[in-house]
Structure 1
Amino acid sequence: MTGHVSRRMLLKGASLSAISIMLSPAFARVGPVRDARIERLIAAMTLEEKAGQLSIFSDPSRVDGPPVNPGLVAQSMATVQREIAAGRMTGLYNGIGVAAGRELQRVAVEQGPHRIPLIFAGDVIHGMKTTFPVPLGEAASFDPELARRTARAAAVEASAKGIQWVFAPMVDVARDQRWGRVVEGAGEDTWLGCQFAAARVRGFQGDDLTAEDSVLACPKHFAGYGAVMGGMDYNTADIPETTLRETHLPPFKAAFDVGALSTMASFNDIAGVPSTGNHHLLTDILRGEMGFAGLVVSDYTADAEMIAHGFAADGPDAVVKALNAGCDISMQSGLYNAHLPALVRSGRIAMKTVDTAVRRVLRVKQALGLFDNPYRSLDLAREARDVRLPAAIALAREAAVKSVVLLKNDGDLLPLSTTAKIALIGPCVSDKGDMPGPWASFPDFASCVTPEAGFRAAMGPTARLEIARGCDYEAPLAGGIARAVAAAKAADVIVLVIGESARMSGEAQARVEITIPAPQQALAEALAATGRPMVVLLRHGRALALSGAVRNAPAILATWFLGSETGHAMADIVFGAAAPQGRLPVSFPQASGQEPFFYDHRTTGRPQLGADPAWKARYREVTTEALYPFGHGLSYATARYSGTTVSAPILAGDGAITVSALVSNTGKRRLHEVAQLYVHDKVASLTQPVRVLKGISHLDLDPGQRARVAFTLTRADLAFVHPDARRFAEPGAFDVWVAPSSVAGIPVSIVLD
């Protein structure tokens, strides 16, 4: 069977969900639903062997990097080999090394009961040995093609190290910056999240999923994990179905539409049902509506955690609920191996359900080419050759530069001269260990470029550079501030690198206050008191609430965690070898208490408009505006937007209109501008966001040059999800902006007929 839907199928009453599956790119990759080789294997397997194909475990024998999961009781290589030979695991994750991988695969295909190959997986979130900016930072480039390229480079290195499946990209839309896992995604906007989800899947999987340098992508976490209450990891996500479908599901659909063949169920519950055991989510929506043809893997021990949720009574009950919901693979808990055979024999789980899950797993292995080439991506020559390639290193620097956002540059303090006397201060300025950032599972620390190294390389042998730590990330250093102040007084300008350490961002790193840690804030206050001009380079995995000397510094850059080439990229921007072009993928609040905070909120009946704030939707201490809004970003030149026009005032039927604006470079340096298209439905049956991003366009302008940027709008761009789960646009009036951020510009009006 191919992706063709015949007239006969329609006449026989083929369901729309079945047809959508047959037409999906994912279906084309996995091939026929019933493959003869796979069906023979399923028929020959025991229940114990089927449970093994639905179980994946950590590979402690091959770990190479910092821990990314709770502690494990390490298994010996002999134990792992015995389990593989008995057919009790489908694969291993978070271990690398080709020689060990080949040996484990040899056991599977020579000693395993049915010679079924293993799959080797890993948390490759933003690079392997060459680390790129964290995904949130890379999203600040507003350049999905850049993300495709970095994912492709990461796939080359990961596959060279023996990995065939990556637990990435994370495509959760994150609207509360207290959540530590904001750092793994593309930020607060759904449309932008869709672009980056699709780009990263295309990069990881490449054009041929069976190729040696291709890896299986795993969009996660399905679903609604970015909506956990209070921004606290593993917490409840209590969200309406319309919000789930409007905000949180589209990036997954974008990933599946370009061929992603796996997804990971999220830890959280939605409306009281944990995702791992949520049949409505994993079967009705994922497979029925979205036409997903791949496999679902649980998150780390998430099936067992349904017991702590109070949703499952015990281990066997957790297996019943997870497998019947549509969770094919259990990660790490061992519950499927322990209980599934007895549950089938007792009738609590149907054999058909087990076979369906096994079929999905085997079809994905087949799509990866593992049955025909079980040693794919286990090549000793590639392991030595295809890691830390010059092109990957250059790409890491390019991506880091393009991820930096210039938030503020009063008096054109930046760029600095390489001949200036600079005090480079901060806890990370000479710390290679913090450069890769959070969720760097397999980094090459030795090759990381620190800010000090990057500045010295840019300034040359005559560099006038004073170095001081000042404090630790979250603790003072004895005499640290005094030494930093002395360095500042001996310099012309201060470059202060502060913010979060890699340990403060990522999984299980929710923060009550998303502020600069107190010791670093004290350092900033002391340096500001010297009177020297100060440039602040923020390192962070979330939007931050800035205050005091940090907020008041004349120049501030959001530099996120930039990866291996951090120091070079920082120097490129600070000294003007490159101009900042990034835009914020998350809104910076004025205070932590504004969270959750995002630009595309709905208006209230008492919006905070006008000079009088009384009896309005507001806090007593701050206005409702962001400190720095979504889409904001400056450069070393200035852009002026004018002449916004529409090709027609009315959008009729299935037609389209063009929205355009004139963008001029009014500065003295070359400008890279990121124009953004926003829309607002003025009156609708459900209240609509004040603005929603619908397009971005990059353009380069020389001083004095201007160009017209154009976007196309269709009826689909104006649609929203209704209570019956249908998505369609309602006729009426809309405001449209072409602007440099989510709060800038003057709207023009259009009417949808």
Structure 2
Amino acid sequence: MDDRQISRRAAMLGAAATMAWLSSPARALLAAAATPGLSAKVEALFAQMTVEEKAGQLTLNAAAWAGGAAVTLNPAGSAATFDSQLAEVRAGRLTGVFNGNGAAMARQMQTVAMREARLKIPLIFAADVIHGFRTVFPMPIAEAGSFDADLAMRTARAAAVEAAAAGIDWTFAPMVDIGRDQRWGRVVEGSGEDVFLGCLMAAARVRGFQGSRGLAADDAVMACAKHFAAYGAAEAGLDYNTVDVSERTLREVYFPPFEAAFDAGALSAMASFNEISGVPATANPWLLDTVLRKEWKFGGLVVSDYTGDEELIAHGFAADARDATRLAFMAGVDMSMQSSFYIKHLPDLVAKGEVPMARLDQAVRRVLAVKQALGLFDDPFRRIDPRREKTRVRTPANLKLAREAGRRSIVLLKNDGDLLPLPRSSKRIALIGPFASGQQDLIGPWNVYGTDAEAVDLATGVRAAIADPSLVTTVAGSAVEAPIAGGIDAAVAAANAADIVVLAIGESQRMSGEAQSRTAIVVPAPQQALAEAVAATGKPMVVVLRHGRALALEGAVLDAPAILATWFLGSQAGPAIADILFGIEGPSARLSVSFPYASGQEPYHYDHKSTGRPSPAGKPVEYKARYREVPNAARFAFGHGLTYGKIGYSGLSLAPSMAWDGALTAKATITNTGRTAAVEVAQLYIRDVTASITRPVRQLKGFKRVPLAPGASAEIAFTLKRSDLEFVGLDLSRTIEPGRFELWIASSAQDDGVTGSFTLAAA
């Protein structure tokens, strides 16, 4: 490790964190406030612990006997073997492992902990269960497009039941970062660009993971809200990069989904990799103590991200491993993931008085309290049952849910001439593109235990949906990022021989997710060339996009009469897409992120500020907030998504004013004039026209999924309260000001729908 002298700033910040902690009034309440409900049995164990055993309870490492894709995603390290980890368990130097190899592995490790370790404190088993376990559900960015928190809760519940059956107690999910730069690969793990939707999804997933019967239930896993905080604001969309945002932006945009997750009961949080305004989150006492503990009264545990404490050295914030340990621990990181810094350095830091024993005890009590809440002290093997592991995974009910979630995550971006839905008989279909067939790139990134080999591809789904499967021809045409010799010629020949082309193109799952930032969020050039050649045949073409982010579409892809955004849908990807293609179910999802005109617009989000020189709609005007090439708007906006019906909005009913202590109800009529039943997602937006802090041009405040039969109308109503109009004011606290507000009930963030205004009266 680097043996440079501790930097003056790091030393000052570390000393300040220590002194602030020692002098905090919260310290006097430590015994009462930080460890509620520890049983006499656990207290007795705690009283016997050595300092090294305490540091061991704060040390979490990747499983040496890894499961699924964990070896690639989170390697255990060259020095780790299963036998060496068992030795660490015997010595009380390890609190648990993550991404291990199922119930068999967990049983062996837990048996050693309970029979051979001195204190017999149960291990905790964690995993990255982001969007499913063995049954894989749509990526969170896709599922958020359902605009249905209940669906998100149900898929998280199913994932928890499967994961818990394999011995897992704790999931590193949900990822609740707001993602507003589509160059950042990890937008795929979150719920998109909107705070309101992000909060709903965060809370729903926590409730799903943790269940309704308490954390001690054998089908509950503890949720972990990550990454705290503002990881999604990384400069230039570059993963792990610097973040420099105002405290107001933190409190208005990046904090609320975490608050929603904690309000829903999440008992753990993960510190983010990034720095914020010069201070890495992993060593940020303002973030982890002032905000999280003192303001929000969070009582759970904080874990570092993978080697997050070690990375303080590369940040230039810590001089060496020992310094990094002190800075992270005193800032509020209770548990170290993967670096083993805590077990190596905390005992000596405590012995030399650089870390107070009381702080060590505080963190250990938090870990023990979590293990107790999970029921591990009552039954360390409650989730470790190889028989259950076989019967609870990939059940018919879970696969059915995966197909439902897949259908409801697909966004119909465009449908000129009502090309979709396709007929289910007598038409020859050419499935063309690198994603036309084959069990690859189906489940998406960041899934440890599911596999593409267990998922259903597009060709299989399409053939199962039509009367004569022999009418379907598949041709790759190109690879994802490289041409195939003769591929375009074969694709053109297949298109010419078909009545309809379904072009399956986009990103591989290796192009999205962690460490997969892109400078140009476009369809890769070989696939774009394939699209141009196939479009030139003149055959009706449906583009089926596979992707983990919003894309800047162009050329023949953009010009195709029908475009479906299908993301990565998981185990039932093929059947779900076929259900939408052939109208077995109509599309009802909406975009959770805006598709830009061009990559250079990123970061982009619909709820941007006006600027002092807003660009008017229509013809470009000089000296306004507009690019030379494209408008300051989205190609396909947040909330956009078509149905197979024909939806119109009319008849806004809105009172002219809202009393300070009252409420206001806005009503509108939605009509389906089409010949097909549809589910419309009606969205409520507002704008605070004049305020002491400039406000976004629109903000989502509600939505409703409205089923409409052909020719049917429905009246919908949204009720606003004064609290719905609040914002972070000049003093950085939430405030509300009287004044005029514009209001829209519409089908997207850029659609006018029906619009009006009202005034919030003064108190």
Q: Normalising by structure 2, what TM-score?
A: 0.94
Q: Aligned-pair distance for 1:523?
A: 0.4
- What does residue 686 of structure 1 align with? 693
Decide whether the 8 Å contact of 2:125 with 2:168 is kept in 1.
Answer: yes
- What does residue 415 of structure 2 align with? 409
Q: Mean alpha-carbon deviation: is it higher for 735-744 or for 649-658?
A: 649-658
Q: Aligned-pair distance for 1:609?
A: 0.9
3-state SS of paired residue (2:108): helix
**1:541-598: CA deviations, max 9, x gaps?**
0000001000110000100001010110111000110100000000000000000000
Q: Normalising by structure 1, what TM-score?
A: 0.95
- Rounded Cα–Cα distance in structure 2 between residues aligned with 1:328 and 1:81: 23
- What does residue 513 of structure 1 align with? 520
Q: Aligned-pair distance for 1:34?
A: 5.6
Q: Aligned-pair distance for 1:65?
A: 2.4
Q: Aligned-pair distance for 1:16?
A: 11
- What does residue 197 of structure 2 align with? 192
The aligned amino acid for 1:37 is K
Q: Mean alpha-carbon deviation: is it higher for 420-429 or for 248-257?
A: 420-429
Decide whether the 8 Å contact of 1:223 with 1:266 is kept in 2.
Answer: yes
Of 234, 247, 251 in structure 2, the residue corresponding to residue 245 of structure 1 is 251
Decide whether the 8 Å contact of 1:218 with 1:263 is kept in 2.
Answer: yes
- Rounded Cα–Cα distance in structure 2 between residues aligned with 1:713 and 1:630: 21
- What does residue 55 of structure 2 align with? 51
The aligned amino acid for 2:663 is A
- Rounded Cα–Cα distance in structure 2 between residues aligned with 1:112 and 1:657: 62
- What does residue 621 of structure 2 align with? 613
Aligned runs of 1:239-388 on 2, under 5 Å?
Answer: 239-388=245-394
- What does residue 32 of structure 1 align with? 36
Decide whether the 8 Å contact of 1:96 with 1:162 is kept in 2.
Answer: no
Q: Mean alpha-carbon deviation: is it higher for 563-572 or for 97-106?
A: 97-106
* 1:600 correspondence with 2:604: no
Structure 2: gaps of 5 or more residues: 1-23
- What does residue 752 of structure 1 align with? 760
The aligned amino acid for 1:317 is D
- What does residue 678 of structure 2 align with? 671
Q: Aligned-pair distance for 1:148?
A: 0.2
* 1:229 correspondence with 2:246: no
Of 450, 453, 465 in structure 2, the residue corresponding to residue 443 of structure 1 is 450
The 3 A distance-change label for structure 1 pair 417 and 223 is same
- What does residue 540 of structure 1 align with? 547
- What does residue 75 of structure 1 align with? 80
- Rounded Cα–Cα distance in structure 1 between residues aligned with 2:467 and 2:667: 45
- Rounded Cα–Cα distance in structure 2 between residues aligned with 1:645 and 1:84: 66
- What does residue 7 of structure 1 align with? none
- What does residue 632 of structure 2 align with? 624
Decide whether the 8 Å contact of 2:38 with 2:369 is kept in 1.
Answer: no
3-state SS of paired residue (1:467): strand
Q: Aligned-pair distance for 1:380?
A: 1.8
- What does residue 20 of structure 2 align with? none
- Rounded Cα–Cα distance in structure 2 between residues aligned with 1:47 and 1:128: 36
- What does residue 642 of structure 2 align with? 634
3-state SS of paired residue (1:264): strand
Q: How many residues align?
A: 733
- Rounded Cα–Cα distance in structure 2 between residues aligned with 1:348 and 1:722: 39
- Rounded Cα–Cα distance in structure 1 between residues aligned with 2:583 and 2:713: 22
3-state SS of paired residue (1:642): strand
The aligned amino acid for 1:689 is P
Decide whether the 8 Å contact of 1:61 with 1:75 is kept in 2.
Answer: no
Q: Aligned-pair distance for 1:178?
A: 0.2
The 3 A distance-change label for structure 1 pair 462 and 379 is closer
Decide whether the 8 Å contact of 1:393 with 1:565 is kept in 2.
Answer: yes
The 3 A distance-change label for structure 1 pair 31 and 145 is farther
Aligned runs of 1:114-263 on 2, under 5 Å?
Answer: 114-207=119-212, 208-263=214-269
Q: Aligned-pair distance for 1:723?
A: 3.6
- What does residue 14 of structure 2 align with? none
The 3 A distance-change label for structure 1 pair 362 and 71 is closer
**1:49-71: CA deviations, max 9, x gaps?**
11100010000213222521357
Decide whether the 8 Å contact of 1:31 with 1:367 is kept in 2.
Answer: no
- Rounded Cα–Cα distance in structure 2 between residues aligned with 1:465 and 1:342: 68
The 3 A distance-change label for structure 1 pair 16 and 412 is farther
3-state SS of paired residue (2:265): coil
Q: Aligned-pair distance for 1:748?
A: 1.2
Q: Aligned-pair distance for 1:461?
A: 4.2
- Rounded Cα–Cα distance in structure 2 between residues aligned with 1:736 and 1:616: 24
The aligned amino acid for 1:269 is E
3-state SS of paired residue (1:140): helix
Decide whether the 8 Å contact of 2:686 with 2:701 is kept in 1.
Answer: yes
- What does residue 11 of structure 1 align with? none
- Rounded Cα–Cα distance in structure 1 between residues aligned with 2:77 and 2:667: 56
The aligned amino acid for 1:417 is P
Decide whether the 8 Å contact of 1:60 with 1:74 is kept in 2.
Answer: no
The aligned amino acid for 2:228 is F
Q: Aligned-pair distance for 1:78?
A: 1.5
- Rounded Cα–Cα distance in structure 2 between residues aligned with 1:740 and 1:703: 18
Decide whether the 8 Å contact of 1:414 with 1:555 is kept in 2.
Answer: yes
The aligned amino acid for 2:393 is V
Q: Mean alpha-carbon deviation: is it higher for 495-504 or for 425-434?
A: 425-434
3-state SS of paired residue (1:747): strand
- Rounded Cα–Cα distance in structure 2 between residues aligned with 1:178 and 1:16: 41
- What does residue 660 of structure 2 align with? 653
- What does residue 10 of structure 1 align with? none
3-state SS of paired residue (1:339): helix
The aligned amino acid for 1:660 is K
- Rounded Cα–Cα distance in structure 1 between residues aligned with 2:118 and 2:294: 34
3-state SS of paired residue (1:660): strand
**1:453-509: CA deviations, max 9, x gaps?**
001111144530111001111111111111111100100111001000000000000
- Rounded Cα–Cα distance in structure 2 between residues aligned with 1:716 and 1:31: 33
Decide whether the 8 Å contact of 2:441 with 2:508 is kept in 1.
Answer: yes
Decide whether the 8 Å contact of 2:62 with 2:76 is kept in 1.
Answer: no
Q: Aligned-pair distance for 1:605?
A: 0.5
The aligned amino acid for 1:673 is E
Decide whether the 8 Å contact of 1:17 with 1:289 is kept in 2.
Answer: no
Q: Aligned-pair distance for 1:623?
A: 1.0
* 1:65 correspondence with 2:73: no
- Rounded Cα–Cα distance in structure 1 between residues aligned with 2:318 and 2:334: 17
- What does residue 737 of structure 1 align with? 744
Decide whether the 8 Å contact of 2:62 with 2:75 is kept in 1.
Answer: no
- Rounded Cα–Cα distance in structure 1 between residues aligned with 2:313 and 2:94: 23
- What does residue 4 of structure 1 align with? none
Q: Aligned-pair distance for 1:627?
A: 0.5
- What does residue 576 of structure 1 align with? 583
3-state SS of paired residue (1:507): coil
The 3 A distance-change label for structure 1 pair 346 and 113 is same
Decide whether the 8 Å contact of 2:35 with 2:365 is kept in 1.
Answer: no
The 3 A distance-change label for structure 1 pair 413 and 718 is same
**1:510-556: CA deviations, max 9, x gaps?**
00000000110010011011111110011010000001000110000
The aligned amino acid for 2:162 is E
The aligned amino acid for 2:665 is T
- Rounded Cα–Cα distance in structure 2 between residues aligned with 1:166 and 1:97: 14
RMSD of Structure 2 on Structure 1 (CA): 1.8
- Rounded Cα–Cα distance in structure 2 between residues aligned with 1:131 and 1:566: 10
User: What's the % identity of the aligned pairs?
Assistant: 57
- Rounded Cα–Cα distance in structure 1 between residues aligned with 2:63 and 2:139: 24
Decide whether the 8 Å contact of 1:17 with 1:287 is kept in 2.
Answer: no
Q: Aligned-pair distance for 1:652?
A: 1.8
3-state SS of paired residue (2:402): helix
**1:262-321: CA deviations, max 9, x gaps?**
010000000000000000000000111111110000000000000000111111111111
3-state SS of paired residue (1:403): coil
The aligned amino acid for 2:138 is P
Decide whether the 8 Å contact of 1:17 with 1:291 is kept in 2.
Answer: no
Structure 1: gaps of 5 or more residues: 1-13
